[in-house]
Structure 1
Amino acid sequence: IFCIFEVIASTVSAGGVRLVDGPNNCSGRVEVYYAGQWGTVCDDDWDLLDAKVVCRALGCGVALEAPDQAHFGQGRGEIWLKDVQCSGNEGSLLGCSSDGLGSHNCGHSEDAAAICEGQSVRLVDGPNRCSGRVEVYQDGSWGTVCDDNWALLDAQVVCRELSCGPATEAPHQAHFGEGSGSILLDDVACMGSEGSLLECSSGGIGNHDCGHDEDASVTCMMDGISRVRLVNGPNNCSGRVEVFDSGQWGTVCDDDWDQRDAQVMCRELGCGEALEAFGSARFGKGSGSISLDDLACSGSEVSLLQCPHSGLGNHDCGHHEDAGVTCAGEINVCGRTEQGFI
C-alpha cells in the first residue's frame, strides 16, 4: 500500500481553528485542531480579545461576542485549551497564553464560542485572492475605499484580516481597475495592529470626496505559495530555515535568532509550537543567498517576513551561521499520528 501526499491549502494543521454548530462559518463553538483531532476551548477567562483572534484567523472580520457556557451546544472529545489570554494581535489561539494544551478542569458545559461579524473586506480583480482592489461590505453591498492617505499600514490590516500574510504594496489610482457602486471609506488611517479595516480611523462610512479612479488596492505576500520552508531536517516541521525572495530560496542568519523567531516560523507553517531554535547550521549549511539577518520577532507576527530585520539580502554572515528550528507539528499520516508533518 502506497501513500501519496500533496500539501494543499485545505490541509488542517496543528493550531487550526473552526467555528461549529452556529448559524454560519463565522459563528459557533470554538474548536482547535491538535494531535489529529478537533477539541474545544474552556470558557474560563474567555473574552472578546480571544474571540478577536479566532475571527481574524478565519477571515471573519470583527469579533462581536465571546459567548460562554456552551452557547452553541456542547462539544465532544478533548478540551484542548483553558484560561486563554490573548492580547488580540496573535495569529493563532496557540500563540496566546494558556494553561497548556490539554490542561484543564472543565466540562463541555463550559465550551467557549465566538460570534464574528462575517467577512467585511475582500480583494477583487487581482491575480489571486490576496491581491486586488479593496472592497468593504456594509448594509448588504460591497463598496470601494478611496486612496487618500492610503498606505502600507492600512494594507497590512487588510492582509492580516484575510490571512494573506504581510502586505507588500498599497497601490493607488485604481491599480486593479475601477470599482462600481458606493465608495464606503476615505482617509483611512490604520495603526497597523487593528483586527479589521473597519476598526481603523476614517472619515466615516460613506463620507468621501473621491471618484473610482482613486480606488485603493493591496498586494499581500501570501498568494497561495509558501514563502518559508524548513529543509534538511527529519520532517517538514524541523530543519534549516529558508525564505523565498526574488525567485530563489535563501537562508536566515542565526544572529539574534531565538525562540520568538522560531515561534513565528512554526506557526506560519502550521507546525504548532516551537520546541527549539538552533544556530550554527545545525541542519547543515545552505547554499546561495542569505536572505535575512538580525531578526527580532515579538512572537505574535503572522509571518517571519513581518518581523523587524536588517532588510532582505542585508547580512554579515556565512552559511555556517544558518538558523534552524524544530516545531511540535503533528498530522495524521495513513491512519497514524506522526510528528512533524504539515
Structure 2
Amino acid sequence: MKHDGVWRAIKVQNPDWNLKVATMTCRRLNCGPAVSAVNRPKYPQEDAWWIGSSCRHSTLKQCVTVNHQQISDSLDVTCSDSVRLMGGSHLCSGRLQVKWNQVWSSVCSDGFDLQDAEVVCRELGCGSPSGFKGKLYGEAPEWNTEFLCGGHESGLLHCDHSDRDTCSPGTTITLTCSGAMRLVGTNSTCAGELQMKVHAEWRPVVDEDWYQNRDQNWTSVVAAVVCSQLKCGSVVASDVEDFGSKRPVWWIESSCFQSAASLQNCLGLTDVYQTIYSLQVICSDLLVQPNISVSPSHDEVQQQKVKVVMGSNFSIICSTRPQYPGGSFQLVFTSSSTTFNYVLPTVTHWAVFLFPAAEDLHRGTYTCIYHLNVFSYNFSSTSQSIYLIPSAPLMDLIIRLVVHLLVMVLLITVTCFYFKKKTLSVETRSRNEETNVLTDLQ
C-alpha cells in the first residue's frame, strides 16, 4: 500500500482482521471477493505499514498506525475477479455469480453439473464441491449461458459454453464447496486430525486460543464448526494431541467463532510458526450408512418394496463397508400392529437374519442399524428402510387366475343364456298377441 508517498507491505496487528483487510482490499481494487488472506514470510525483514485492529474507518489508509518495528511476514491476499459465491454461511458457499463487462450476474441452474462446480470451487481455492442445487430468489438469474466445463479448467469463464439465452427453470445455482478442510488419520472422513489446504498446501490446524490459554472450550467450538461444514453431524469429542515433532501449521483464531458459522472466516494463518500439537476431532456421523438386502439375491435393495414367496425361506442381510472391526447389527421390524428387534454380531461386516417360512405376519418395514464402540464412544448408523410383502407362489397365482377366468366365463355364459331366454319369451308373447288380434278380426 502507498502511504505518505511510500509503497510498503501491509502487516495486520490482529490476525483475526486478515480476512477483513483482504475483503476491503479486493473491493477497493474491484477484484471480486477475497478468497484467502495468509501471512507469508519476508526475508530479509523490512518496514511495513501496520493496520490497527481497532480501526472503524471504511478505508485502509485511515487505519494505518505508526510502528517502526520491521516485519518478517506480510499479508498475502488472493481475490477472485470473475467468480464469487454470495449470501452463504461462509466464503465457500452461496449463490454463484460471474463478472462480465464489469457487471456481476447470477448463474442459471439449468445444465450446471459437477464438472462446472469443481472448476468454481478450485478457482475460489475452496477445495471440492460438496453440494449444489437450483434455488429461487427475488429475481431471475441474469446469466443464462450454459457452462460446458470438463473439470480441468483453471476458471469458470475459461470453460466452453452454449449459445442458450433463456433459463427455463428460472432458478439460480447455489453451491457449497468443502472449503479445503479434512479430517485424516482414521478410517472415517468424520474423525481424525484437522487439516486445511491453503495455496495448494495441506497442514494441521492448531487453535491459538488453546495454545496460549489451554482453553478447551474454544477447541470444542472449532470442532463443532468442522463437523457442521463437513456434514458429519455434531461433535462427539475434540482434543489437542502431541504429534512428537514440530511441523508447520495453520493457526485458527477460535475466539472469533462467537457469531461466525465459518472456519474460513477465522483463519489467522502464518508461515512462521511450527508446533508439535494438532487438533483431533470426532464427529457423530463417523460410520457410513449400512446396506440392507433380501435373499435369494444379496444385491443392495434399490426399491422400497420387496416381494418374497409365501411359505419359502428368506433372509434379510445387513452389511456395511469395512471401517472398524466388530460391532453388531440390529434389525428393526415394524408393522401396523407390532414392532420387533433382532440383534446379531457382525461377521466380516455382515449379519444374516434367517426366516424359515414367509407368512403374512412378516409383512412390514425392515431397517438395519449398525452399532459400534470405537474411540471409547458408542456410534450407530441406520440403513434405508424396505417394505417386505409375502406373495403367493407362481403356481398358486396361475390356479387363481384360471379359476377367475372360469368364473368369468361362467358368468358370461349364464348372462347370455338368461338374455337369450328372455328374448325368446318376448318374441313368443309377441306372436301370441298377433294371433289373438287376427282371430278377433275374423
Q: Which has the higher strand share?
A: 2
TM-score, length basis structure 1: 0.40
Q: Greater Rg, structure 1 or structure 2?
A: 2
TM-score of the aligned structures, taking structure 2 as reference length:
0.33
